[in-house]
Amino acid sequence: MVRIRIGEGWESDPGVRAGLRAGSSGPRRDAIRSIVDVVAVEVDGVDIGAGRTEGPVAEGVLGLLRAVGRLASGGEHASVPFDDGAVELLLHRRGGQALLSVATLARPARLLAHDVEIDLPRLAEAARAAALTFCDRVAEIAPSARALPELRALLAAATRAPAVAEASRPAVPGTRSRRTRRRPRDASCSFELHDEEGRLSTFRGPGADLASLLVQGRVAFRSPTGEEFLAITGSPYLLFRDLCAAASRLAAAPGAPLSFDLARPGRSATARVLAAGDTVSVDGGEPVRCDPLAFAQAIVEGAADFCSVVRGRARRQAHNALLVDLEQSASSCLTHVLELREGDRASASRRRIRVRREPRASPTPLAPGRLRRVSFRPTTSSEVGPPARDGLFLLPGVLVACGRDRTVGLDPAGGEERWIAPGASQAAASGGRVALLRGDALEMRDAATGSVLWSRPPPPDVGTRSTLVLDPVGHILVASGGSVHAFDAAGGQPAWSFASPGAARVRLLPLGTLLVVAADGGMVHALDPDGRVAWRLRGAGPLATPPVGTARSCLLAFRTPTGATLASVDPSTGTRCFESSLDFTPDGPPLRAAGRIVIAGRVAGDGVVAAIEEDGAHAWTEPSPTGVVPALAPRPGGLLAKGPDGTCAALDREGRTLWIRSAAGRPSPPGNLPPVAVRGLVLVAAEEVEWLDGATGQPVGRVPAHAPAQLAVGDDLATWTLDGDGLLAGARVRGHLAEVGPPPPSPP
């Protein structure tokens, strides 16, 4: 006996009842679409979906009617999605019978029911009865609801009684296939496909079809010694889907313990797999010696072989989106795993790295003697909308501010607007040019006039977290996800593209003619001007901070189970100059100050600052003078450390605190802009923007701006701020008061 039962909980929902009784059709249609409950298929009183087939009732029942109608008219299979596609009711026809399966794609993916045989006419009658009952229950609450399009469609589908046509036969007979890949002294994967009825050949496409892939079989793994340590019977497609996800996790954190579950036959039975160290164990059994990366390689090679066998048995499956996604996932993961297993690859030849030096702030004091006060006058105020990630650029002769609403170029001296352009989500500026990236265009403008030099469509995978960079060799680089696209900065023509295997996000660092691409998983590639890999490095763990570098070395910080590792790499060849272990988690990029490398981080929530010699030896580690993880900046002979509330301290080369300016009690705006040392003064931006005396830390002036998100300062102390709402404010020095005399005593 078959029955389709619809849950009744929605009937007591006051929001649904009020919507159905509303006076206009809009709220009533919204109420119909908001009815969510279980659409259970019961066979002999047992719900084959175990209560998982939940979703919008009207949509689910209509989908079930159409699926049954498709089978009745001669179709071979159909499916009905529930729970936003996480659960699917699959229908397959065998003669005058319908075979019902329920698959859940939530990991571990499994078949809750497999090929439950039901008489097709009885299933059609049960579906029609469920649809009519649902319409009657809605009409009891609001009789006029029968006129709504959603119920009219249900009633029309329920009143049609399709004749059961003879089912078509598969074009290709089913076979049993086995593919095993073996490598000496390495793990291997084998699988079996049991497709006696030719279900694989029922795919007609295009699109995504799960039903045609759910043939039964077996997936097994052997250790390098030939011992079978894992064997699962079930649907190879679902098993490889979960296994590939596990292989990606193994590759993302090589060396870290990882456990995952695989579905065994049944509704809840699972196999727990643990990969730790150089062993793999199943269900707490005796560990088998097997490198987890070799295990991951066997997984993805087995998945690739499975896709190849399926396409060989049923050519049309090459257009099945689900199979294509699995094959692409396996291919990308295999590339990542092979790179991880191969490890570092240094460049065979050295190249000269010339890095454009950032302009240094003028060391000339603003005035002789000791400054007592500096006053500022506002020069401009303008709205650009929420700022781009890097949206404020002080270029020679022009200041550029970019927000979502508009981009403006201003005269740095007087603050007058020179040009206005549409806004953008990302911006970059260098060499008198400004690059803008928005959803519909990537364009280059002249920084002095704002005129468009060229414009083109952006790469297809651009999102809100994309990064825009202008490199010194004439490329504009767009990083999105794990991919980098390069375009000619002169004309906008595509130059090359690169995808970092297994990366969800990459950080870019141009170093002369090389581009360092550091992936979040820990793989680092250096690309030459043509996009070819010059060298590759495998980090000790996931990337902890953005890379920084000079012509002499590239600094890379990687997270480890005990803290982090700071690596210095020769940018010319990719060879490691040193690796230094850190017993804290970095929180901010390393920087060079007073001839040393300094980096800030946290230990159990407390901020620390550490200094490392250029040869990797530890110089000192001290608690943060601000009490929290500080933003660091260099100063002559030492460094500056600043907290989010504006507390700022000056440290000497040995980590001793010279002075501290407390801002306790002030609000802490989002973010923590580093302080800026220029002409004997220190600019500290938090809720307020203050200038401090660089020698004593005493306040000498205040800029008329509020809680900036971005900051630009000129040698003449002209200050430009851009807050989180996109308000651009500029200020220039109005005057100053200095005391000439003997210097004050040094602080204790």
Tell me how far the alpha carbon of residue 25 is from its chain's centroid. 41
The predicted model gives 485-509 an average pLDDT of 92
pLDDT tens digits for 707-728?
899 999 988 888 999 998 999 9
430 has pLDDT over 80: yes
| Burial class of residue 736, CB neighbours in 10 A (0-12, 13-18, 19+) | middle
* Distances, alpha carbon 640 to alpha carbons 313, 545, 649, 667, 703, in Å: 67, 19, 6, 21, 20
Grade residue 536 by pLDDT with cuts at 50, 70 and 90. very high
Tell me what pLDDT residue 704 has. Answer: 86
| CA atoms of 568 and 552, how far apart (whole Å) | 9
Tell me how far the alpha carbon of residue 6 is from its chain's centroid. 39
pLDDT tens digits for 621-678?
999 999 899 999 999 889 999 999 999 999 999 999 999 999 887 888 888 999 999 9
Tell me what pLDDT residue 183 has. Answer: 62
Q: Which of 412, 413, 465, 400 is nearest to 437 (CA)?
A: 465
The predicted model gives 206-217 an average pLDDT of 88
Phi/psi of residue 245, each to 5°?
A: -65, -40
The predicted model gives 420-438 an average pLDDT of 92
| CA atoms of 630 and 622, how far apart (whole Å) | 12
Grade residue 418 by pLDDT with cuts at 50, 70 and 90. very high
Is the distance from CB of 586 to CB of 564 less than 8 angstroms? Answer: yes
| CA atoms of 83 and 505, how far apart (whole Å) | 30
Tell me what pLDDT residue 347 has. Answer: 86
62: left (phi over 0), alpha (psi -120 to 50) or beta: alpha
Q: How much of the chain exceeds pLDDT 70, in percent? A: 95
CA within 13 Å, CB half, 597: 25
| CA atoms of 76 and 61, how far apart (whole Å) | 20
| CA atoms of 354 and 360, how far apart (whole Å) | 17
The predicted model gives 520-540 an average pLDDT of 92
Q: Give the position of tokens 């060799």.
A: 473
> What's at 276, amino acid-wise?
A
Is the distance from CB of 334 to CB of 298 less than 8 angstroms? Answer: no
171 has pLDDT over 50: no
Tell me what pLDDT residue 172 has. Answer: 46
The predicted model gives 393-410 an average pLDDT of 92
| CA atoms of 738 and 157, how far apart (whole Å) | 89
Which residues are paired to 639 by β-bridges? 634, 651
Q: Which H, E and C letters describe 149-214, residue by residue?
A: HHHHHHHHHHHCCCCCCCCCCCCCCCCEEEEEECCCCCCEEEEEEECCCCHHHHCCCCECCCHHHC
Least confident among 91-105, 321-335, 443-457 = 91-105
What are the tokens at 580? 């230094």
* Distances, alpha carbon 37 to alpha carbons 7, 62, 67, 82, 487, in Å: 5, 14, 19, 10, 51
pLDDT tens digits for 511-525?
988 999 999 988 999
pLDDT tens digits for 555-596?
999 998 888 999 999 999 999 999 999 999 999 899 999 899
Is the distance from CB of 486 to CB of 531 less than 8 angstroms? Answer: yes
Grade residue 478 by pLDDT with cuts at 50, 70 and 90. very high
Whether residue 206 has a cis bond before it, omega within 30° of 0: yes
Topology (CATH) of 370-739: Methylamine Dehydrogenase; Chain H (2.130.10)
| CA atoms of 465 and 389, how far apart (whole Å) | 9
Grade residue 72 by pLDDT with cuts at 50, 70 and 90. confident
Q: Give the SS3 label for residue 571.
A: coil
Dump strand ranges (E) for 440-573: 441-446, 452-456, 467-470, 475-480, 483-488, 494-499, 506-511, 514-519, 523-527, 533-538, 548-549, 554-560, 563-569
Grade residue 327 by pLDDT with cuts at 50, 70 and 90. very high
Grade residue 743 by pLDDT with cuts at 50, 70 and 90. low
Enumerate the domain spans of the chain: 2-159, 176-342, 370-739
Tell me how far the alpha carbon of residue 285 is from its chain's centroid. 35
CB atoms under 10 Å from CB of 742, counted, come to 6
Compute the mean pLDDT over every residue in the chain, rounded to the nearest whole number: 88
293 has pLDDT over 70: yes
Grade residue 166 by pLDDT with cuts at 50, 70 and 90. low
pLDDT tens digits for 19-33?
888 878 888 889 888
> What's at 680, amino acid-wise?
G
